Structure 1
């Protein structure tokens, strides 16, 4: 019986991919606009550390949307 040296073909090892950088991590400067919502009676308004204040809303969701829009486009 003849033995032949059969080797497996070389396989490429998968290259590890880096996870996407989180906002505010070393690769991305932190956003200078930290927003929050504040309630005044039956109204809710968005505020930012830069001094910006959104319109008073009865809907908390709309106030959060105002805050998110400001953080993206100050």
Structure 2
């Protein structure tokens, strides 16, 4: 099932709301802007991907 564990940040006036979603044995980070991170087995790594996306400039 979907989980909303990711950080929520604002970048350059555009709101980037990230979530992590479980897909079988994998976890994927997604953003409201359409970005999608790679499938990860570790939830912590998916959350780190989401945070990196939200803070990237």
Tell me the TM-score range normalised by the shorter chain: 0.7 to 0.9
Q: Please, what TM-score do these two structures have when normalized by structure 2?
A: 0.75
TM-score with structure 1 setting the length: 0.58
Structure with the bigger RCO (C-alpha within 8 Å, sep 6+) is 2
Alpha-carbon distance between aligned partners in 2 of 1:72 and 1:58, rounded to the nearest angstrom = 22
- Let me know the Cα RMSD of the aligned residues: 1.3
Which structure is larger by alpha-carbon Rg, 1 or 2?
A: 1
Structure 1 stretches of 5 or more lacking a match? 1-29
Q: Of Structure 1 and Structure 2, which has the larger fraction of its residues in helix?
A: 2
Of Structure 1 and Structure 2, the greater strand share is in 2
Structure 1: which 4+ aligned runs deviate by more than 2 Å? none
